[in-house]
Amino acid sequence: MPKHVVISKLGGPEVLKYQEYSLPDEIKVNEVRIKQSSIGLNYIDTYHRSGIYPLPSDLPVCPGMEAAGEIIGIGSEVVNFKIGDRVAYATPPIGAYCEIRDFPEEKLISIPEFLTNDEVASVLLQGMTVEYLFERLHKIKKDDFILFHAAAGGVGLIASQWARSVGCKMIGTVSTKEKAELAMENGCEFTINYKEEIISEKVLEITKNKGVPVVYDGVGKDTFDESIKSLSTRGLMVSFGQSSGMVEKIDMHKTFNPKSLFYTRPSLMGYTLNREELIHCSNKLFEKMKNNEVRSNIYKKFKLEEAKEAHIILQSRESSGSIILEP
Ligand SMILES: NC(=O)c1ccc[n+]([C@@H]2O[C@H](COP(=O)([O-])OP(=O)(O)OC[C@H]3O[C@@H](n4cnc5c(N)ncnc54)[C@H](OP(=O)(O)O)[C@@H]3O)[C@@H](O)[C@H]2O)c1
């Protein structure tokens, strides 16, 4: 029998349990059956596990949003894929932490031949996130300053590379000297160690008191106030995650009125609403990878049964780049 990881109660990494499961006898008409070889670990998996984000169904639930593998079976109405195809996904329905699963063809992506399954599983969700943040939500431009938090993380290193490919001057925050070096190597123009320096002071120094037109904030609670202080008048605050915890109640008037700021709280799902958007987004990422402007940064590969250890590493701030699980 195949094995997967399940959550039977919400909580810390210890609630992730590795156990056997059975597959449905029949594949649904619009789904394919995938033998997965590589699973992407994302911060959102920790939100599902702990209950910060609601789960789509009652417990027990198999978590995970991203994986790559090979098609081993197809439903009777599947038209775009065949057995043997290498495919990947980075969207709901959740349930990626497993060896074999059925998945709807409309949300599936073909893996280009120049990329391995590990590379795609390590980059697809985080890279598509950078695509919509930098190309569609707010188009970054050559010579513009931007502030991006956790620049040495999974999303952060891809963002550093993407910004460099555009000629945009990314100011990245990091927690250690080693992470600062890594972010610079990957394309950050400036780094701020937010454990030692005051973010807004450094941003104002770098931008000659202008502030930045946009802040991409995936850290949340610990950085929100400094992000607001770092923005220029009519700047855009993009809250796209909360690795340090949820932002607590804010006073809308006091926060946004003095500088006439804009605010948005986007999600990848909101920017891959249909197949056309999903293919546009993934193709743009693959194009960047083909041009060597963006590459996969695998920090560590864990066995699927070690999902608990992988979550501990991600939440301890020890990791940089992406983490993958191997079924
Ligand atoms: N909205 C969307 O569409 C979308 C899509 C993908 C990801 N995201 C978000 O993007 C963010 C980054 O995701 P990721 O998967 O690439 O994770 P990640 O950046 O690899 O890991 C999180 C990083 O956050 C930083 N951090 C700061 N304070 C922290 C704290 N108290 N606890 C833990 N980490 C802390 C750490 O970097 P330092 O050590 O340098 O501080 C840590 O490495 C997450 O918030 C995630 O939810 C959003």
Q: Which residue has the tokens 């190309």?
A: 135
What pLDDT score does 128 carry?
Answer: 98
Residue 302 has pLDDT above 90, yes or no: yes
For 190, how many CA atoms within 13 A lie in the half-sphere containing its CB?
20
Full DSSP string of 70-115? EEEEE-TT--S--TT-EEEE-SSSP--SBSEEEEEGGG-EEPPTTS
**Closest ligand 1 atom, CA of 323?**
20
Residue 291 has pLDDT above 90, yes or no: yes
Going by alpha carbons, the residue nearest to atom 5 of ligand 1 is 129
What is the CA(172)–ligand 1 centre distance, in A? Answer: 13
Q: How many CB atoms lie within 10 A of CB 260?
A: 9
Instruction: Work out the percent of the chain whose per-residue pLDDT is above 70.
Output: 100
Give the H/E segment covering residue 190: strand 190-193
Q: What is the mean pLDDT of the chain?
A: 98
Are the CB atoms for 202 and 225 separated by under 8 Å? no
Residue 56 has pLDDT above 90, yes or no: no
- Cα 113 from Cα 134, distance rounded (Å): 26
Ligand 1 in reach of 69 Cβ (< 6 A): no
What pLDDT score does 106 carry?
Answer: 97
Q: What is the CATH number of domain 142-265?
A: 3.40.50.720
Superfamily designation of domain 3-123+289-326: Medium-chain alcohol dehydrogenases, catalytic domain (3.90.180.10)
**pLDDT by residue (tens digit) across 143-202?**
999 999 999 999 999 999 999 999 999 999 999 999 999 999 999 999 999 999 999 999
Instruction: Work out the percent of the chain whose per-residue pLDDT is above 90.
Output: 99
120: left (phi over 0), alpha (psi -120 to 50) or beta: alpha
What is the CA(217)–ligand 1 centre distance, in A? Answer: 9
Are β-strands 66-74 and 31-41 bridged in parallel, bridged antiparallel, or unpaired? antiparallel
**Closest ligand 1 atom, CA of 241?**
45
Q: How many CB atoms lie within 10 A of CB 306?
A: 18
Q: For residue 101, give the amino acid letter.
A: R
Residue ranges covered by each domain of the chain: 3-123+289-326, 142-265
What pLDDT score does 235 carry?
Answer: 98
- Cα 315 from Cα 37, distance rounded (Å): 24
**pLDDT by residue (tens digit) across 99-153?**
999 999 999 999 999 999 999 999 999 999 999 999 999 999 999 999 999 999 9
What pLDDT score does 310 carry?
Answer: 98
Ligand 1 in reach of 218 Cβ (< 6 A): yes
**pLDDT by residue (tens digit) across 230-246?**
999 999 999 999 999 99
Q: How many CB atoms lie within 10 A of CB 77?
A: 10
Residue 84 has pLDDT above 90, yes or no: yes
